[in-house]
């Protein structure tokens, strides 16, 4: 059991603030990093420079890095460097209005902000070294020095290089970041003071170069100690010098010197780096970083063994190289969500191991955190309330009595005490715990006693009898949390049971009204009295209920709530709901139901929060506790950046090739591309060194759709195979707290039509098409005309052939007929027998004439007008010749041939060849079988006339018949062949196409 003295001491400590840390809060800051995970080329970076454009430049051994607040760009590709080698290790920075200058062992690199490219300037041409390290921009010139402390200038307008002087101090031992004497030159860089003097350091020497007199002197006198570091405060005209055993402070107006050997008991050994911002001084000593005020009566120490190169940025954040890990940043302004992690004192590490499980508001407005720390939200201080942390279980604020109820669990008892606003204990109740019950929660009422929830039931506290009374109307087991609401009602949650809505009557009797969300494990209920609605946290998400406890809406993963197992729920002063869960912290806007999920970048203490660890104070500040500490904030939340947030185009690639931008990528407003230049990579980023990682970049194609789409962090916007047309791509920064877009930037992309889609193409195609038609028509007319003349020529040839045939054959026969007729007339009376012989011959000749004329007439009528086809003509001829013999014959003619052979000469010759051959067979062959075949094979006509007769000797047989057949075959450009072995085969091959 705790004593009254212990309780009183605890409460006195609980109500006392901590004035020391309330002044400067040197121990209150968040730590963030820029590492290789963010894109840094290397984790060891010693030179750093914040330029006027909103970028932080960071050197590394392998490349130069540029940080915009969320993305790191590494300059290690050849196309960034025009006619010069790539910059690797850089030494120092300076800038004018258009360019950035970086020192190196090769000379001075000049970076063009507009073109995003480098060139190399040789500053010390006639020196033993090419090293050029920029000091600063003064009088229109970039001032540089080298290892020998030679000074030279580069006129940014005329491009003239001028050697100025050599400072009368010892040359550098080494350019390496680790100097041979334990010092590093980058921690003691030369500088210009407010009187335009240039100061330099080497060993234990401090030299001043006067611009007007162009002379050097040593106004600070001889320094006995080696200089480790330096820092100049231009506003106060004070020079800080770090040495092996102290911090030296020089007033450069009158050269007064002050030596600081220790700060609040901490000895200043090996002050290797110094940085200042307003009234805060940061020192690196041995393995520590010391933060102090400028009066050196306050300090905070953070252990950092590998910290180098301390500097403050323009917002007051402390940057330094955490060697091998990248850049570490101390941010003294809290994140969007206040976080207990920002309290850096070791005594606050308790939160990381034990977490935060409870809050209670105190009468003075401060908040008791997890029973052992007191948080003052006004001055943002956190102080311990007692060295003994184990005797208090839970504390509850009583606004009516302006004090706190304190519950303490003993071995076999429950103990309840009340402390008023004057830190006086009014009452202590000790109640035996015979049932081994467990305390769960407490509710404080204006007109009723204290209501207590135990694992074995719900009880009233009877202050007069110093005991508790069970409320029998309520379920006994597993009571969890008492949610007090209006009209003397309570909503009590039960583990593994439904939440009960109960009415408290004036006589303290309790009546159950209904179950809330039956079948759902409900934990916490918050009432919005203005809207007459209720927000309920459950294991299935958040439910919004109307005044009759009917469901209006449900919020879970289906509509964007990050976590569904609710550990705490509160309503802010504007009526918006806030809940903690297993996936962070979320808020739900009361009217639009827009859900905002908060993550580690926003400052949540950890992804996982704790049950019952939530509180809303009287001033509207919300507290949520979790496994790694707690968050505190007063809605509405807003991002307040010291920097001008901007969207910028970093690079544009077309078909994976970086385009040239004469005026810089960021000035591009329109891209006009060919049809095949339709794979576009836009590297578009947000520039905000303070809140860059919290900013979200969105885009939309404004003339195609109005929907905004998010671009993933560090990712370019890629369009593949864009079709022809115009695309108005608009970018914007989305603020999830205000649900608004800002910082708009546009680029118009035009993909030109393919040539085959242009009017000119179709004009040409139409011209070619109709020109082709006219050409084809002209060709057709030409061929038809040629065919007509060829037909006329063929007809003329045929007429000539007919004339020749008539002349040669019929003419001779008619002449013979005329002679024989005259002879017969003269001999008719003289010699009747001879006359009869001549008449028979005349008859035969007349018959022959008739047959030849018939053949000629038939051959001149091919096609549809003919009454007898070629095959029929051959058959008739065979019948006429072989019909009076006993020789059987068979004739086969391909049906196609009747339609294909229309040429007069060919038809006539085929028939006459057949007749000649059949006549020979009938007269001489003695055959018993004859076959005539006329077939088409490939591109040839094959005529075969076969008999099985006695044959003949080809050498002895030289009659006119064979000669005529061969001649007729040649007229058809054919091949003539006779085979006798035995029988006879007349074989003729005629081409289907003849010249």
DSSP string, 492-547: EEETTS-EEEEEE-TTS-EEEEEEESTTS-EEEEEEETTTTEEEEEETTEEEEE-T
User: Read out DSSP for 802-868?
Assistant: HHHHIIIIIIHHHHHHHHHHHHHHHHTTT-HHHHHHHHHHHHHHHHHHHHHHHHHHHHT--GGG-SS
Q: What is the pLDDT of residue 801?
A: 66
Residue with tokens 């290790």: 89
User: Residues 628, 694: one domain?
Assistant: no
Q: Which of 186-195, 852-861, 922-931 has the highest mean pLDDT?
A: 186-195
Phi, psi of 244, deg, nearest 5: -70, -35
Q: What is the pLDDT of residue 182?
A: 59
Residue with tokens 């009452």: 427
**Contact assessment for residue 385 and residue 10, using Cβ atoms and an 8 Å cutoff:** yes
User: Residues 575, 694: one domain?
Assistant: no
Three-state secondary structure readout of 352-379: HHHCCCCEEECCCCCEEECCCEEEECCC
**Contact assessment for residue 452 and residue 468, using Cβ atoms and an 8 Å cutoff:** yes
Other CB atoms within 10 A of residue 499 CB: 25
Sign of the torsion angle spanned by Cα atoms 692, 693, 695, 699: positive
| Section 306-329 average pLDDT | 95
User: Residues 914, 992: one domain?
Assistant: yes
What digits encode the pLDDT tens for the residues 496-529? 999 999 999 999 999 999 999 999 999 999 999 9
What digits encode the pLDDT tens for the residues 335-379? 889 998 888 877 777 788 889 999 999 999 999 998 888 999 888
Total count of domains within the chain = 3
> Is 679 part of any domain?
yes
Q: What is the pLDDT of residue 859?
A: 59
Instruction: Find the helix packing angle between 759-805 and 904-920, rounded to 10°.
Output: 40
Quote the DSSP letter at residue 81: B
Contacts from 500-504 at CB under 8 Å and sequence distance 24+? 500/474, 500/475, 501/549, 502/473, 502/474, 504/445, 504/448
Helices and strands (H and E) in the chain: how many: 10, 72
pLDDT at position 825 over 80: no
More confident residue, 151 or 46: 151
User: Residues 877, 987: one domain?
Assistant: yes
User: Residues 552, 581: one domain?
Assistant: yes
The vertex-567 CA angle with 564 and 569, nearest 5°, equals 90
| Section 369-396 average pLDDT | 77
User: Residues 615, 728: one domain?
Assistant: no
CA dihedral 344, 350, 353, 356 (to 10 degrees): -100
In the sheet where 271-277 sits, what is the strand order?
A: 271-277, 280-285, 288-293, 299-303
Quote the DSSP letter at residue 791: H
Domain holding 889, by residue range, is: 869-995
**Contact assessment for residue 110 and residue 121, using Cβ atoms and an 8 Å cutoff:** yes
Q: What is the CA radius of gyration of the chain?
A: 57
Tokens encoding 459: 């009880």
> Is 185 part of any domain?
no
Q: Provide, rounded to the nearest whole percent, the portion of the chain with pLDDT above 90.
A: 63
Contacts from 97-102 at CB under 8 Å and sequence distance 24+? 98/156, 99/156, 100/49, 100/51, 100/57, 101/134, 101/142, 101/154, 102/57, 102/59, 102/64, 102/134
Q: Which of 397-401, 576-580, 898-902, 946-950 has the highest mean pLDDT?
A: 576-580
Other CB atoms within 10 A of residue 854 CB: 12
Sign of the torsion angle spanned by Cα atoms 416, 419, 424, 427: negative
| Section 37-48 average pLDDT | 93
Distance between CA atoms of residues 98 and 766, nearest Å: 55
Q: Of 710, 735, 753, which marks where a domain is finished?
A: 753
Q: What is the pLDDT of residue 14?
A: 41
Per the omega criterion (within 30 degrees of 0), is the bond before 697 cis?
no
User: Residues 671, 745: one domain?
Assistant: yes
Pick from 412-426, 489-503, 687-701, 791-805: least confident: 791-805
| Section 959-974 average pLDDT | 85
Q: What is the pLDDT of residue 882?
A: 85
> Is 561 part of any domain?
yes
* C-alpha closest to that of 102 among 85, 82, 88, 114: 88
Q: What is the pLDDT of residue 851?
A: 67
| Section 209-220 average pLDDT | 95
> Is 629 part of any domain?
yes
More confident residue, 819 or 99: 99
User: Residues 668, 622: one domain?
Assistant: no
CATH number for the domain spanning 578: value is 2.130.10.10
User: Read out DSSP for 645-680?
Assistant: -EEEEEEEEETTEEPP-TT-GGG--EEEE-TT---E
CATH number for the domain spanning 915: value is 3.30.565.10
Other CB atoms within 10 A of residue 38 CB: 17
User: Residues 622, 674: one domain?
Assistant: no
Distance between CA atoms of residues 282 and 242, nearest Å: 11
Helix (H, G, I), strand (E, B) or coil at 302: strand
> Is 604 part of any domain?
yes
| Section 579-596 average pLDDT | 97
State the average pLDDT for the chain: 89
Which pTM value belongs to this model?
0.74
The vertex-436 CA angle with 430 and 442, nearest 5°, equals 55
Pick from 135-139, 317-321, 917-921: least confident: 917-921
Pick from 185-189, 314-318, 933-937, 952-956: least confident: 952-956
pLDDT at position 957 over 70: no
pLDDT at position 544 over 80: yes
**Contact assessment for residue 347 and residue 361, using Cβ atoms and an 8 Å cutoff:** no
Q: How confident is the model at residue 2 (pLDDT cuts 50, 70, 90)?
A: very low
> Is 848 part of any domain?
no
pLDDT at position 238 over 80: yes
Q: Of 635, 658, 689, which marks where a domain is finished?
A: 635
> Is 318 part of any domain?
no
Contacts from 454-459 at CB under 8 Å and sequence distance 24+? 454/414, 454/479, 455/479, 458/482, 458/492
pLDDT at position 99 over 80: yes
CA 831 to chain CA centroid, Å, is 126
pLDDT at position 7 over 50: no
Helix (H, G, I), strand (E, B) or coil at 76: coil
Strands 117-121 and 133-138: unpaired
CA dihedral 592, 597, 602, 607 (to 10 degrees): 160
pLDDT at position 896 over 90: no
Question: What is the per-residue burial (b if ≥16 Cβ within 10 Å, else e) of 871-887?
Answer: bebbbebbeebbeeeeb
**Contact assessment for residue 914 and residue 878, using Cβ atoms and an 8 Å cutoff:** yes
User: Read out DSSP for 95-149?
Assistant: E-SSEEEEEBSS-EEEEETTTTEEEEE---TTSS---BEEEEEETTEEEEE-TT-
> Is 619 part of any domain?
yes
More confident residue, 805 or 888: 888
pLDDT at position 747 over 50: yes
User: Residues 899, 995: one domain?
Assistant: yes
User: Percent helix, strand and coil across the chain, each rounded to 5?
Assistant: 20, 40, 40
Tokens encoding 884: 């009076």
What digits encode the pLDDT tens for the residues 832-841? 787 778 777 7
CATH number for the domain spanning 669: value is 2.60.40.10
What digits encode the pLDDT tens for the residues 147-189? 999 999 999 999 999 999 999 999 998 887 665 555 788 899 9
Distance between CA atoms of residues 234 and 307, nearest Å: 25
What digits encode the pLDDT tens for the residues 263-294? 989 999 999 999 999 999 999 998 999 999 98
User: Residues 624, 673: one domain?
Assistant: no
Tokens encoding 638: 């807003």
Q: Of 708, 732, 753, which marks where a domain is finished?
A: 753
User: Residues 573, 695: one domain?
Assistant: no
* C-alpha closest to that of 723 among 679, 773, 668: 679
């Amino acid at each position: 059991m705790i004593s009254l003295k212990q309780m009183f001491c605890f409460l006195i400590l609980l109500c006392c603030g901590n004035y020391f840390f309330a002044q400067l809060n040197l121990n209150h800051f968040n730590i963030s990093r820029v590492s290789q995970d963010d894109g840094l080329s290397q984790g060891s970076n010693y030179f750093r420079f914040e330029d006027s454009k909103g970028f932080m430049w960071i050197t590394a051994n392998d490349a130069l890095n540029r940080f915009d607040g969320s993305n790191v760009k590494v300059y290690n590709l050849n196309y960034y460097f025009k006619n010069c080698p790539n910059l690797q290790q850089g030494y120092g920075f300076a800038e004018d209005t258009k360019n950035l200058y970086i020192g190196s062992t090769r000379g001075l690199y000049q970076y063009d902000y507009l073109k995003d490219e480098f060139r190399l300037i040789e500053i010390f041409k006639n020196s033993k070294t090419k090293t050029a390290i920029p000091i600063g921009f003064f009088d229109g010139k970039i001032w540089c020095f080298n290892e020998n402390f030679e000074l030279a200038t580069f006129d940014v307008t005329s491009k003239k290089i001028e050697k100025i002087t050599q400072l009368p101090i010892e040359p550098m031992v080494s350019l390496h970041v680790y100097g041979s004497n334990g010092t590093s030159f980058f921690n003691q860089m030369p500088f210009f003071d407010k009187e335009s003097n240039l100061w330099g350091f080497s060993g234990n020497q401090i030299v001043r170069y006067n611009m007007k007199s162009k002379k050097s002197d040593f106004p600070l006198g001889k320094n006995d100690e080696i200089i480790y570091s330096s820092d100049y405060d231009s506003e106060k005209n004070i020079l800080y010098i770090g040495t092996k055993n102290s911090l030296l402070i020089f007033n450069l107006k009158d050269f007064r010197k002050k030596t600081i050997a220790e700060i609040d008991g901490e000895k200043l050994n090996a002050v290797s780096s110094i940085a200042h911002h307003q009234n805060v001084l940061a020192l690196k000593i041995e393995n520590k970083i010391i933060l102090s005020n400028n009066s050196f009566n306050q300090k905070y120490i953070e252990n950092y063994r590998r910290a180098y190169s301390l500097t403050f940025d323009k917002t007051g954040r402390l940057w330094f190289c955490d060697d091998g890990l990248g850049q570490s940043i101390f941010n003294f302004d809290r994140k969007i969500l206040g976080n207990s992690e920002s309290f850096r004192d070791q005594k606050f590490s308790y939160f990381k191991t034990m977490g935060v499980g409870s809050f209670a508001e105190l009468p003075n407005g401060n908040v008791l955190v997890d029973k052992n720390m007191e948080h003052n939200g006004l001055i943002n201080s956190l102080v311990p309330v007692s060295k003994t942390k184990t005797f208090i279980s839970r504390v509850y604020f009583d606004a009516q009595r302006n004090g706190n109820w304190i519950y303490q669990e003993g071995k076999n008892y429950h103990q309840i005490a009340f402390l008023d606003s004057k830190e006086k204990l009014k009452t202590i109740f000790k109640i035996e715990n015979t049932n081994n019950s467990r305390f769960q929660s407490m509710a404080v009422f204006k007109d009723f006693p204290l209501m207590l929830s135990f694992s074995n039931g719900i009880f009233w506290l009877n202050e007069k009898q110093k005991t508790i009374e069970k409320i029998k109307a309520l379920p006994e087991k597993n009571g969890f949390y008492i949610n007090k609401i209006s009209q003397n009602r309570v909503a009590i949650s039960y583990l593994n049971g439904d939440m009960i809505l109960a009415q408290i009557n004036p006589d303290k009797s309790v009546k159950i009204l209904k179950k809330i969300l039956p079948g759902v494990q409900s934990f916490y209920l918050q009432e919005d009295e203005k809207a007459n609605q209720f927000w309920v946290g459950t294991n299935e998400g958040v439910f919004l209920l109307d005044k009759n406890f009917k469901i209006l809406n449900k919020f879970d993963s289906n509509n964007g709530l990050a976590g569904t197992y609710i550990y705490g729920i509160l309503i802010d002063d504007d009526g918006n709901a806030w809940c903690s869960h297993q996936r962070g912290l979320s808020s739900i806007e009361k009217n639009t139901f827009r859900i905002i999920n908060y993550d580690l970048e926003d400052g949540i203490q950890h992804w996982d929060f704790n049950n019952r660890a939530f509180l809303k104070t009287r001033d509207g500040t919300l507290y949520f506790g979790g496994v790694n500490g707690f968050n505190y904030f007063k809605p509405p939340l807003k991002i307040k950046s010291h920097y001008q947030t901007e969207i910028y185009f970093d690079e544009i690639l077309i078909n994976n090739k970086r385009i040239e931008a004469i005026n810089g990528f960021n000035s591009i407003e329109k891209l006009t591309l060919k049809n095949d230049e339709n794979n576009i990579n836009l590297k578009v980023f947000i520039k905000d060194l303070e809140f860059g990682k919290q900013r979200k970049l969105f885009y939309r194609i404004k003339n195609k759709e109005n929907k905004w789409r998010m671009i993933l962090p560090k990712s370019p916007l890629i369009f593949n195979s864009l079709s022809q047309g115009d695309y108005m791509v608009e970018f914007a920064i989305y603020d999830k707290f205000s649900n608004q877009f800002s910082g708009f930037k546009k680029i118009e992309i035009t993909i030109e039509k393919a040539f085959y889609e242009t009017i000119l193409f179709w004009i040409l195609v139409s011209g070619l098409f109709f020109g082709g038609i006219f050409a084809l028509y002209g060709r057709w007319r030409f061929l038809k005309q040629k065919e007509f003349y060829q037909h006329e020529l063929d007809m003329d040839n045929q007429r000539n052939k007919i004339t020749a045939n008539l002349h040669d054959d019929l003419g001779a026969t008619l002449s013979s007929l005329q002679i024989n007729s005259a002879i017969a007339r003269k001999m008719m009376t003289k010699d009747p027998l001879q006359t009869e012989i001549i008449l028979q011959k005349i008859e035969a000749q007349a018959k022959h004439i008739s047959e030849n004329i018939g053949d000629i007439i038939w051959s001149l009528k091919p096609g549809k007008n003919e009454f007898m086809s070629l095959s029929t003509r051959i058959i008739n001829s065979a019948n006429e010749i072989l019909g009076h013999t006993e020789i059987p014959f068979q004739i086969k003619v391909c049906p196609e041939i009747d339609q294909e052979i229309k040429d007069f000469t060919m038809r006539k010759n085929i028939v006459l060849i057949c007749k000649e051959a059949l006549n020979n067979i009938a007269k001489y062959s003695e055959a018993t079988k004859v076959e005539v075949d006329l077939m088409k094979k490939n591109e040839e006509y094959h005529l075969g006339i076969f008999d099985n007769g006695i044959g003949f000797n080809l050498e002895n047989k030289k009659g006119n018949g064979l000669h005529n057949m061969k001649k007729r075959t040649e007229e058809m450009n054919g091949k003539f062949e006779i085979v006798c072995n035995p029988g006879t085969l007349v074989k003729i091959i005629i081409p289907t196409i003849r010249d």
